[in-house]
Amino acid sequence: MRTIGITGGVGAGKSAILAYIKEHYNCRMILADEAAHKLEQPGEVCYEKLVQLLGDEILSQDGTICKQRMAAKIFADHTLLQKVNHIVHPAVRIYIIRELEKEKASQSHDFFFLEAALLIEEHYEEILDELWYIYTREEIRAQRLRESRGYSSEKIEQIMKKQLPEETFRGFCKVVIDNSGQIEDAYRQIDEKLGVYLC
């Protein structure tokens, strides 16, 4: 089983790439954001710690953590954001390592994919065979964000400034999938890369 991490800048089209891989290949796929959300549910490892840190005001009526309330609180206070990250990121990593070990033991899939915005920052290259970078030209990413999410040019610029530069992505990632053109071209690149491993 080949283990692959997928990352890239906002608006690069990772969701479409992941959907294609999931549909066409025998694989287990974990999205780090979804894993974090799971671990923040009542009874899970991050729940009590987050409520203790941020207070009951982040809870919805049903007792679950309201993502919007939590986001409003932590993004207004950088020290809180750091504390939340120190709770959530290590827990997500432990969860992913456990799931990866289960998959290796079962040998029921050809591939294990992990998608994470902070794939490089959290050093997932230490536990995966290789990292893939979904590259899309910046002007195309900006256009997609304006059309799909209604973001302003100012907001897009702020988001992109916070992300890793292209040379860092390319330096860490063994494979670069260019998604600047037609999506079918990106699919073809994926098929070529994964086809080699299946052979």
Model pLDDT for residues 91-133, shown as the tens digit of each residue: 999 999 999 999 999 999 999 999 998 999 999 999 999 999 9
- Residue 95 CA to residue 16 CA, distance in Å, equals 25
Condensed to tens digits (0 to 9), the pLDDT of residues 137-177 reads 999 999 988 988 888 888 888 888 888 999 999 999 999 99
pLDDT classification of 31: cutoffs 50, 70, 90: very high
Burial of 74 (0-12, 13-18, 19+ CB in 10 A): buried
* Secondary structure class of 111 (helix, strand, coil): strand
Q: Is the pLDDT of residue 33 over 90?
A: yes
pLDDT attached to residue 92: 97
CB atoms within 10 A of CB 152: 10
Q: Which domains does the chain have, with CATH numbers?
A: 1-26+110-199 (3.40.50.300), 33-108 (3.40.50.300)
pTM for the whole thing? 0.91
- Residue 174 CA to residue 124 CA, distance in Å, equals 13
Q: Is the pLDDT of residue 84 over 90?
A: yes
CA nearest to 33, candidates 145, 129, 114: 114
